[in-house]
Amino acid sequence: MIDTVKVTYFKRAIGIVCLILIFCIGFGFGQMGKNSQDSSETKVSTTNKSDDKRLNESLVKKFLIAYYTKKDLEENRQRYKEYMTEGLYNATISEENKAQSQTYKGYIINYAFESA
């Protein structure tokens, strides 16, 4: 016949082995995420520019005025270009060129920035 005592010991042993295996897999995934975070922190600390422009309230207000004050949809691009990086500027232009923005092009007339 079947020895029930041995079966219960076997079930417990298999359960303990499964728990240890799950713990090891979880620990391994946790270590993988930790290594990638450490390397990105190192990159951030080593990329300091010598002529770093500080962001202040007046610069932000100038950007907001240049970005939001417009007579038509594409009219103010040259005014806010100097405040953006090249990638952000290209993304903003591609957003303005989407069909949804072009649909409301005639409705955005004499739009002015009021306050922040």
Write the pLDDT tens digit of every residue in 48-102: 554 556 778 888 888 888 888 877 777 888 888 888 899 999 998 888 888 877 7
105 vs 7, higher pLDDT: 7
For the whole model, what pTM was predicted? 0.45
Using only the alpha carbons of the chain, give its radius of gyration: 30
State the pLDDT at residue 8: 95
State the pLDDT at residue 19: 96
Cα 114 to Cα 53: distance, rounded to the nearest angstrom: 26
Cα 87 to Cα 80: distance, rounded to the nearest angstrom: 13
Query: What is the pLDDT confidence band of residue 13, given thresholds at 50, 70 and 90?
Result: very high
